[in-house]
Structure 1
Amino acid sequence: MTQRSRKTTARGLGLGLAAVAALLAGCGGADESVPKNAMKPLVIKEQTSAVTQGTAGFVVNWAGVVGNPNRWHFGENVAATVIGKDAAGKEVVRTEQPLDAVPPSGVLKFSGQAIASARPVQVKLTFTQPRWRRAARIPSAFVPFPISAANTEKLGNGSYLVTGAVANPYQKAATSLVVTALLRDKDGRLLGGASTYVDDVRTGAPRRFVLTVEGLNGVGPVARTEIAARTWGSSARPYEELALSGAVSAPAAKPKSPPFANDRGNQAMPEDHRP
């Protein structure tokens, strides 16, 4: 298991973009002009969990999808609380996972992992409601990050290796992105997922990623893998800065970083500190 502590670096937008940001200053930060009851709550669309035996205890893996039905607002500072209980109802694991900002009219795909002192038979995820932030651009300006060369390989012991490349559709370099892979069966049921980080993704230079989804013993064959990338952090600001820089045509260049040798990957952990 790998635990990574992330720090983001704020970068200026330049004089032209600063002028645009100044015009939109009334939209930045928490939107206190909108009554809380006017905002629709985040929707938990899917969630799943799995437990496997590890060297330091029982490894609890989870994955899910949270939707934002509000067209003009990001959901910020959202946190998931994961609680696992054993057969006697005793709590054997509890952890809080900060989630990344949920985009307007979009979804957040996430995953996490924790160690339990005993085998939990029940794992429950609950979510805090966000602080709402009015988006600085129209929803269509938040272009998704293209994924290419995706491949899923079964490793055995309920593990799957997922590799591919993520591109940046914006003029400004993406300081840090989170790539999440969700695995599904033939009926579309969510089986599990994992996440990893990719840093310094520049326009026209897709970066390769590798991650491992674990804990899928006895859940049936994997038929489909969904991969999504997003800006890292509880605040919408990194995504807004990219959108303010403007989108470019989809890059046709092949990844310039060398391919990864098959390994166990790198999974994002819920203990990561958020800005």
Structure 2
Amino acid sequence: MNLSRRDFIGLSAGAFAIGLVGCAGKPTVQKEPQAATEAKEQDKPTLEVADSGFYMDEYGSAHFAAKITNNSTEYAAAQVDITASAKDTDGKILGTYPCLLSAIYPNGSAFVGGNIPVSGEVKTVEFTIADKKDMWQKTKQTQDEYTKTFYAENLNVTNDGIPQVTGEAISTSKYDFQQSKVIAVLMDNSGKIIGGDCTYLDNLTAGAKQPFSVFLGKMPEYKDVIAYVDAGTKK
């Protein structure tokens, strides 16, 4: 089938300052006393799973993806630990996969993905987002600035032989990053996530155009594919 091409942009920041495109000077997080920068309990920002899905491949692995959203208008979250758990019909955990979301900005959205080898029938894949006070930081940086900094292009899907999504991860940042990854997300006709997976890049250097392949196993019927670039942490 023809791929509906969508160059979905990724988020990431080790220090919340990465040399964004179109910004004057070096963007930085606001420097405030710790007591002032911590969100008040009654106004506590939260991350939520807005959508998710999974499918089983021919080898018994659950390929999953999830869209994470940030409800805060002022706070970004960094180094977010998210655990994906594959469960059977009785709620028993058959396997888990640790995801690390490098950063998500105010009113922003990001994706995680991977695969969980299991023995047994998977009913659901559920997500637990670790709630850590030190992961929140007040910032003036925006999601839109990030969409001009990290993204994927030239996407191609092959479903014969070795099913995979290929493309190029682009960084227009002036900094080098490590522990970078690309998450491929499959969607149905309504735009709902039906699964995905991820692959790690060796590095994402300043001005990089890094080829990638995300192996997906035997894929279900899908309508669209997006590729999300998580740049990792700044070197």
Deviations 1:194-252 (A, max 9, x none): 1112213332x4111111123534xx3x221111212215xxxx3xx9xxxxxxxxxxx
Equivalent residues in 2 for 1:1-275 (5 A)?
24-26=30-32, 32-54=37-59, 58-130=60-132, 131-135=135-139, 137-139=140-142, 140-142=144-146, 143-155=148-160, 160-198=163-201, 199-203=203-207, 205-217=208-220, 220=221, 222-232=222-232, 238=234
Structure 2 spans left out of the alignment, 5+ residues? 1-13, 19-25
Which structure's CA Rg is the greater one? 1
| CA RMSD, 1 decimal | 3.3
**Preserved contact between residue 168 and residue 174 of structure 1 (Cα < 8 Å):** no
SS at 1:37's partner residue?
helix
Letter in 2 for 1:193: G
TM-score by length of 2: 0.72
**Preserved contact between residue 80 and residue 102 of structure 2 (Cα < 8 Å):** yes
Q: Deviation of residue 87 (structure 1)?
A: 4.1
SS at 1:79's partner residue?
strand
CA distance in 2, matches of 1:177, 1:211: 13
Give the % identical residues.
18
Bigger fraction of residues in strand? 2
TM-score by length of 1: 0.63
Letter in 1 for 2:126: K
Runs of 4+ in 1 over 6 A off after TM superposition: 20-23
Q: 1:173 to 1:98 in 2, by over 3 A?
A: closer
CA distance in 2, matches of 1:122, 1:22: 40
CA distance in 1, matches of 2:102, 2:39: 22
Q: 1:181 to 1:84 in 2, by over 3 A?
A: closer
Q: 1:85 to 1:200 in 2, by over 3 A?
A: closer
**Preserved contact between residue 180 and residue 196 of structure 1 (Cα < 8 Å):** yes
Structure 1 spans left out of the alignment, 5+ residues? 1-8, 14-19, 242-275
CA distance in 1, matches of 2:160, 2:219: 11
Deviations 1:89-147 (A, max 9, x none): 54333454333322222111110222223333333223233531122x43254334132
